[in-house]
Homo-oligomer: A and B are copies of this chain.
Amino acid sequence: MTKTVTLSIDAMGGDSAPDMVVEGMALALKEIPDIRFLLFGQTEKLIPLLEKNPKVADACELRHADDVVSNDEKPGIALRSGRQSSMRLAINAVGSGEADGVVSAGNTGALMAMAKFVLKTLPGIDRPAIASLLPTMRGECVMLDMGANIQCDAENLVQFAVMGEVFARHVLHIPKPSIGILNVGTEVLKGNDSVKQAAAILSQTHLPIDFYGFVEGDAIGQGTVDVIVTDGFTGNVALKTVEGTAKLFAGALRQELVSSIFGRIGA
């Protein structure tokens, strides 16, 4: 038996907020019926939405927040002036222990800055990272960092590896996840100093982890490892490259299907 999870939600974050946020809560409820929400945002906008979604309303405690962090606000400014924002109050609820986690589709930089300031990082972890699940031929892998840390040293990469390993065990339910560091080749001598040193640390460690070694970009689609570790610059470019390639493929496929249909009509 697992205990009921309470999530703190920033209702105002994201391009289609708050409508999309409430829709997302409804989807989450279908998958995890006993989940509970603390919903932070402008009550005048949220009350009509909750009236239309009685199941969400039942699972949710609404708390008013006047301010909204906009998408183009600099993280430092948001941290100083956004103390009454829905994002900040949602994060505070995790800090006070009222919620087990926080969800926001808003300004990523502001979210990282506020979360680091309010919640700190765990002992031994210097910087938070953004993790993303990616589809592979074998299922899914988790990749981090996806853009929170543009420049990373070996220590950062090692810490991302540890966080990714824990994520894969607890969220993906993989008993002993394999970990790879993204590089330009699989040989130990390849790459920049950060990846070489990080690989040396992860290879020599007595931690009970399954370190695979270096992987190349095609490991993302192939599912060579369960956890892919990289700096935020490379990770962000790789993630958006996957998106772009997928769209290119989908577009080409659609065109093929249309020509094939017209071809059949012609015939």
A: which residues have CB within 8 A of B? 135-137, 147, 150-151, 182-184, 191-192, 216-222, 230, 232-234, 236-249, 251, 253
Contacts and interface: CB of A to CB of B under 8 A. Distances in A.
A184 B232 CA distance: 8
A230 B237 CA distance: 10
Contact of A240 (B216, B236, B240): B216
Nearest to A232: B184
A218 B242 CA distance: 7
A249 B244 CA distance: 12
Give 7 closest A-B pairs by Cβ, nearest first. A217-B240, A221-B244, A218-B244, A221-B248, A217-B241, A245-B245, A184-B236
A156 B33 CA distance: 55
A192 B233 contact: yes
Nearest to A248: B221
B233 A217 contact: no
A37 B249 CA distance: 37
Contact of A238 (B183, B219, B238, B248): B238
A151 B231 CA distance: 14
Given A216-B237, A216-B240, A242-B245, 5 more contacts: A216-B236, A217-B240, A221-B241, A222-B244, A246-B249
A245 B241 contact: yes
B219 A244 contact: yes
B184 A233 contact: yes
A244 B217 contact: yes
A241 B253 contact: no
Pick the most buried of A234, A238, A240: most chain B CB atoms within 10 A of its CB.
A240
Contact of A220 (B136, B150, B222, B244): B244
